Amino acid sequence: MRNPVGRARGESRRGVLVLGAVALAAAVLAVLGYLSLRQWETSAELLFREQARDMARMAAEKVGMTLAMAEDDALAGIQELVARPDLSPRVVDDWRAGRPLVARAYLLDRQGRVLYPPAPSADDAELVARVTAEVPQGLWDRGGRRRLVAGDKIVLAAVVRTASGAQLLAALCRDHDRLGRELFEKTLEGLEGKSVVAVVDGSNRTVFASGPLDGAERVATAPLGGVHPAWHIAFYQPAGPSPRDTVRRQAAVFTGAFALLLVVIVLGLVASYRLVRRESEMARLKADFVANVSHDLKTPLSLIRMFGETLEMNRIADEPTRREYYRVITRESERLTRLIDNVLDFSRIESGRQRYDIVPSAVEPVVQEVLEAFRHPLAQGGFKVDVDVEPDLPEVPMDPEAISQALGNLVDNAIKYSAERRRLAVNARRHGHEVRLSLEDEGIGIPPAETTRIFEKFYRVGRSETQGRRGSGVGLTLVKHIVEAHGGRVTVESRPGGGSRFTLHLPLEPA
């Protein structure tokens, strides 16, 4: 059979290994999780930019098409107009009034004379001069249309024919404002979603924007192409949370949740590791307990048997020796009874079956009774016993039997854990609403770190000091349980090598 300590050690080593393996797996998981989150963030960003570029391209196509249609429409209109026999400035004025997109219209003959408007302004004259300079002769001969950039204006020029067959150059200039308001707005409506779409001219000025551009970030552009050379459609991400921010936020939330998960896993692992360690420690303590109790049972039994047999054989002639043998038998039987009572009470406490019969009782008789029961062991150990019970101590609500068992355990410990200086002081005093019953020895003492653990079941202080001293590790557990059942508590003051004082605090009012 493997010994329980070895088994416990093996178990805790296995526990450490499992803990390490799971912690490693959790760390790998954390790194992988972090990497895939980063990747997700990058691909979301790429996707977002690509989508914005596609949208800009689509918008540019749509705007280009609409503009081309508007141009066709305007040119067809002016051709029809010029072909009218009653062509006059008034007729052109009327036509323009119905076409808000045409900001300015000019009709020139081949010699560059301005036929419309009848009274050109200085602005008009400048524009006309540029048009005549830039329109190639070929246009007059071949016909067709031509787009010219004059300053910030785009002029559409085409050769048209009058009713009499004469050639005229029609130059139409778009109204940017209206273009924005009426044409871009309608064309780009419903396209942008949350983004802002803008039309930007050659010098990067915004001709039209579907929303406010303050703080917005340009994410993609697409050229308008032939209809409006040098103009662009620009896609903006408005100020405030962008899809990228949303992705980042989501990534942060995931990272947080993941970290939390890892923390929970680690905490769970640590908790189960501690539980396993506690369990194996408990298994070890239980095994010690069984060994100690068996040993404790065996020693008095051997003594009783040996002295009993000697007496039975009638070998002892003198009376005082015989009496001494009888005393040993009685003493050892008492020790056996105490041990068995302790074990039985402990098992009753463990199963929650222990009951106490608490009645107002005097303290002194209980103290005397316990000291009397230990008279022999105390005397044999050479103990000097001082008892100081305050006179007129009130009665205390208690189960006298249980309290004497607790005191008995304390006296037994004082005897067991005393070395050269053998003194026992028993003290009972009233302090406010409680009676303090203390037992002080000058024995080996208890290290400060152990003073709470000694009350745990099966717990015995460090192997070397207690080794050789019989004990089961449940004596103080019983003491603690008994006083707590009386609504009190037990305290200990001790110094290694300097002795210990255990005090039972028993309340005067029933709990």
The residues binding ligand ADP (CB under 6 A) are 409, 413-414, 417, 441, 443-446, 454, 459-461, 466, 471-477, 500
**Looking at beta carbons only, is 434 or 442 nearer to ligand ADP?**
442
User: Tokens in use for 319?
Assistant: 């009376």
> What is the layout of strands, in order, in the sheet containing 153-161?
114-116, 102-108, 167-174, 153-161, 145-150
Nearest distance, CB of residue 340 and ligand ADP, angstroms: 14
Give the whole-angstrom CA distance, residue 450 versus residue 410: 17
**Looking at beta carbons only, is 405 or 500 nearer to ligand ADP?**
500
E-strand stretches of 196-327: 196-200, 206-209, 217-223, 232-237
Nearest distance, CB of residue 397 and ligand ADP, angstroms: 25
Give the whole-angstrom CA distance, residue 110 versus residue 119: 18
Nearest distance, CB of residue 506 and ligand ADP, angstroms: 19
Nearest distance, CB of residue 495 and ligand ADP, angstroms: 10
User: Tokens in use for 489?
Assistant: 């508590």
**Looking at beta carbons only, is 428 or 444 nearer to ligand ADP?**
444
Nearest distance, CB of residue 458 and ligand ADP, angstroms: 8
**Looking at beta carbons only, is 210 or 472 nearer to ligand ADP?**
472
Q: Which positions ≥6 away from 345 have C-beta within 8 Å?
A: 354, 405, 478
User: Tokens in use for 481?
Assistant: 């349980």
Nearest distance, CB of residue 421 and ligand ADP, angstroms: 12
**Looking at beta carbons only, is 128 or 461 nearer to ligand ADP?**
461
Q: Which positions ≥6 away from 424 have C-beta within 8 Å?
A: 378, 383, 384, 385, 386, 411, 414, 415, 439, 440, 441
**Looking at beta carbons only, is 131 or 476 nearer to ligand ADP?**
476
B/e letters for 187-216, b = 16+ CB within 10 Å, e = fewer, are bbeebbeebbbbbbbeeeeebbbbeebeeb
Residue labelled with tokens 């899809």: 243
**Looking at beta carbons only, is 371 or 508 nearer to ligand ADP?**
371
Contact 62, 222 (CB under 8 A): no
Give the whole-angstrom CA distance, residue 429 versus residue 419: 28
Provide the 3-class DSSP secondary structure of residue 449: helix
DSSP collapsed to 3 states, 322-370: HHHHHHHHHHHHHHHHHHHHHHHHHHHHHCCCCCCCCEEECHHHHHHHH
Q: Which positions ≥6 away from 399 have C-beta within 8 Å?
A: 356, 357, 358, 359, 482, 485, 486
Nearest distance, CB of residue 494 and ligand ADP, angstroms: 7
Nearest distance, CB of residue 475 and ligand ADP, angstroms: 3
Whether residue 507 is preceded by a cis peptide bond, meaning omega within 30 degrees of 0, is no
Nearest distance, CB of residue 465 and ligand ADP, angstroms: 7
**Looking at beta carbons only, is 61 or 456 nearer to ligand ADP?**
456
Nearest distance, CB of residue 430 and ligand ADP, angstroms: 24
Give the whole-angstrom CA distance, residue 404 versus residue 364: 11
Provide the 3-class DSSP secondary structure of residue 472: coil
**Looking at beta carbons only, is 124 or 341 nearer to ligand ADP?**
341
Helix or strand (DSSP H, E) at 161: strand 153-161
Nearest distance, CB of residue 360 and ligand ADP, angstroms: 28
**Looking at beta carbons only, is 59 or 474 nearer to ligand ADP?**
474
B/e letters for 342-360, b = 16+ CB within 10 Å, e = fewer, are bbebbeebeeeebeeebee
Minimal CA–CA distance to 233: which of 193, 194, 192? Answer: 192
**Looking at beta carbons only, is 111 or 464 nearer to ligand ADP?**
464
